[in-house]
Amino acid sequence: MSDHVSAAASGHFRIGGELPVVRLGYGAMQITGDGVWGWPEDREGAIAVLRRAVELGVTFIDTADSYGPTVSEELIAEALRPYADDLVIATKAGLVRTGPGEWIPVGHPAYLRQQAELSLRRLGVEALDLFQLHRVDPAFPLEDQVGELKKLQEEGKVRHIGLSEVSLGQLQEAREVAEIATVQNLFNLVKRDAEPLLDYCDAEGIGFIPWFPLATGELAGADGPLAQASRDHGAEPSQLALAWLLRRSPVVLPIPGTKTVAHLETNVAAAGIELSDEEYAALDAVR
């Protein structure tokens, strides 16, 4: 499998029915320091990964204000401005950081607005292509949290609204307040609790962004559940896991993240894998 397959081979999806992206994207959480905290040890390496992603045809980059915090957004701006016309940058707000590996939901509407304004400033854009509520904060009504994102959208500061780690009921409730373009939940070959949510998104044309699409390496180990299939197919286990996600539904937008160019190229090459019906069924049976 070539390391230089274009991500465009994964196909395209229109966020909110109008904003086109290449389906295989890049998740920019891992370009920060340990514990998603502070600057990476290899800052130039992180910038190289971002630039290489775009060279390989990636047009969808997912980040968040809390990655670093602020570090991921700042690196994206440093590496990629002026942005390509077809580049879509999604960010999130709703989690605060009190230290490495610590994440606390804060959904106060005024806080969400502040973070949107700061993301606009850091990314250097006039509008956020996709602004996602990172977590629903139980301390505030969901309608107030989504309602603030709706106000930002009406003001032209947000193009599309997304949700992260929500239940089907929460998604349906949020849709009473605003148009929801995407949902981002944990989902991969061995973690499929969100399957009913994905089926709903598929039926409704809502983009589904699976985070941890490779289960942080669990699927890709030499003795992992994909080992035999990868030997039979002549591809890396991680590539097959991504190919399965892409085949699972046309609304799925995988965003594998990495700190290295070599790993990025391996991930993007998964866009060129076409699973047969038999191969897909065999992977689908992995649990």
* DSSP code at position 22: E
The sign of the torsion formed by the CA atoms of 241, 136, 114, 111 equals: negative
Active site (catalytic) residues: 67
* Alpha-carbon dihedral angle through residues 264, 266, 271, 275, given to the nearest 10 degrees: -150
Residue type, 239: Q
> What is d(CA 44, CA 264) in angstroms, rounded to the nearest whole number?
15
| Secondary structure E strands in the chain | 12-15, 19-22, 26-27, 60-62, 88-93, 95-96, 104-105, 128-133, 158-164, 180-186, 207-211
